[in-house]
Amino acid sequence: MNGMLRRGLSRPEPRLLSKRYLSSATGGGSAGTTEGGSSETTPLRPRPNALTDEIIRVDHAGELGADRIYAGQMAILGNGPLGKTIGHMWEQEKEHRKQFEQLIQQHRVRPTIMTPIWNVAGFVLGAGTALMGEKAAMACTVAVETVIVEHYNDQLRQIMEAPNPDKELLATITKFRDEEQEHHDTGIDHGAEQAPFYQAMTEVIKFGCKTAIAISKKI
């Protein structure tokens, strides 16, 4: 377990984002690297309006944090009864993160400078609550996903009220919102509300998530 925790905390944040951002200054295409090591080019799009820029930056940060939370939970509970359930949610979060990394590249959006901090904080939150037990881990999931679902709903309203709604971004956020709601419901179904100090713990986690969202929107 200690070895898994060390690997999770020491996992370096991919340097691809900074390269993507720097490459946008040239106005040309940006090359990405797949897990298999092959190179792929993602076409750049016109620079986004302020709303799209903010949405992509903050949602990328949020999905990064969610990815690391489930990584922390898996490091502690991956071999237990909840391992398969947590693993399924983690796979979806990794796909969410991958999609927003592609959108950051395509739209040439500057990632939040808080990325390294969210990387570590997410893992610590996931592992820390998992060490308190399965129900505490599920309470963490419920708290985080409650904030994310509300956040995505707010964004969907903003996009639909915009003069020229980004239909692709609208569809992406709608899909991810529905999957985050499923994660929330999974946490409830697996005893989140029976966790020790459930109310206090979830309120603290919600406050932390809302603070991270507010910060990531701007810097």
Residue numbering of the annotated binding site: 63, 93, 96, 145, 180, 183
Tell me if residue 29 falls in helix, strand or coil: coil
- Tokens standing for 212? 């991270």
19: buried, middle or exposed (CB in 10 Å: 19+, 13-18, 0-12)? middle
Interatomic CA distance for residues 64 and 164, integer angstroms? 28
**CA 23: distance to chain centroid?**
24
Which residues partner with 165 through β-bridges? Answer: none
Q: Which residues are annotated as a binding site for Fe cation?
A: 63, 93, 96, 145, 180, 183
C-alpha dihedral sign at 147, 152, 153, 155: positive
- Tokens standing for 111? 């990632």
CA angle 86, 210, 53 (to 5 degrees): 95
